[in-house]
Amino acid sequence: MIRKMLYKSERKGGGYTVSLIKPEGSYQVRWRLIAEEGRAITNGETTVTVIDVIHRKDCEAWTDCELPDELKPIEIDEGIQ
């Protein structure tokens, strides 16, 4: 699993930006957890390939697992109309 630190900051004029680049001024830290290619990550209840979490301790709840069939890419046969 890959962990990327993200920075959430409020934009001038409203709204928020979540970025890998640390902004000037105030921001909140978040983490993006990304499964390795062909794998998934789970917290025991939810299984995904990528998720953003707010607290660092939340990262520890996620572990690598096999990619379930429902998350595997769908192959499309171009010949079927």
Q: Which residues of 47-62 are buried (b: 16+ CB within 10 A; e: fewer)?
A: beeebebeeeeeeeeb
Coil vs helix vs strand at 76? coil
Query: Alpha-carbon distance 60 to 3, whole Å?
Result: 11
Is residue 40 very low, low, confident or very high in pLDDT (cuts 50, 70, 90)? Answer: very high
- Residue 7 burial class via C-beta count within 10 angstroms: exposed 0-12, middle 13-18, buried 19 and up: middle
For the segment 48-53, the average pLDDT, to the nearest whole number, is 94
Is residue 72 very low, low, confident or very high in pLDDT (cuts 50, 70, 90)? Answer: confident
| Domain range for 13 | 2-71
Window from 20-24, 48-52, 55-59 with minimum mean pLDDT: 55-59
Q: Evaluate whether residue 78 is within a structural domain.
A: no
Could you tell me whether strands 16-19 and 47-48 are parallel, antiparallel, or unpaired per DSSP bridges?
unpaired
Total tally of structural domains belonging to the chain: 1
Is residue 76 very low, low, confident or very high in pLDDT (cuts 50, 70, 90)? Answer: confident
Q: Evaluate whether residue 59 is within a structural domain.
A: yes
